[in-house]
Amino acid sequence: MKTSWGDNLGDQTYEGAFKSEDIHKMHTYRDAIRACRGAYVLYPGSETRIFSLDGARDLDGVGAIPCAINGENLDFKEIVGRLVAGDGDSAAG
């Protein structure tokens, strides 16, 4: 999985990119849902971007994961598999 880790969202305006307001909404969901470790937007793009808490490289935080109807969706499958297995810490990038 090729994951981009970041602490600066910036403005995402190009076609096929997740929107910064979607990431901000994921923060709202994550903060509002009790015991929620992470909240992610699925979008029809190509970049997996994770904004982890405190800059740690794990899946606790918010992010954007590409997921297309006719795509392989490898990052999506890997992340969901790791979350279900309880292996959300120390994500390889």
Looking at the domain assignment, is residue 90 inside a domain? no
Q: Number of structural domains, the chain? A: 1
Q: Which domain covers residue 17, as residue numbers?
A: 3-85
Which single residue is written with the structure tokens 């880790």?
5
Distances in whole angstroms, Cα of residue 59 to Cα of each of 17, 31, 44, 65: 20, 15, 20, 12
pLDDT confidence of residue 83 = 84
Is 55 a domain residue? yes
Q: Is residue 25 part of a domain?
A: yes
pLDDT in tens, 25-83: 999 999 999 988 889 999 988 889 988 887 677 888 999 999 988 889 999 999 999 88
Instruction: Please report whether residue 37 resides in a domain.
Output: yes
Q: In what order do the strands lie in the sheet with 3-5?
A: 3-5, 48-52, 61-66, 38-43
Q: Is residue 52 part of a domain?
A: yes
Q: Is 77 within a domain? A: yes
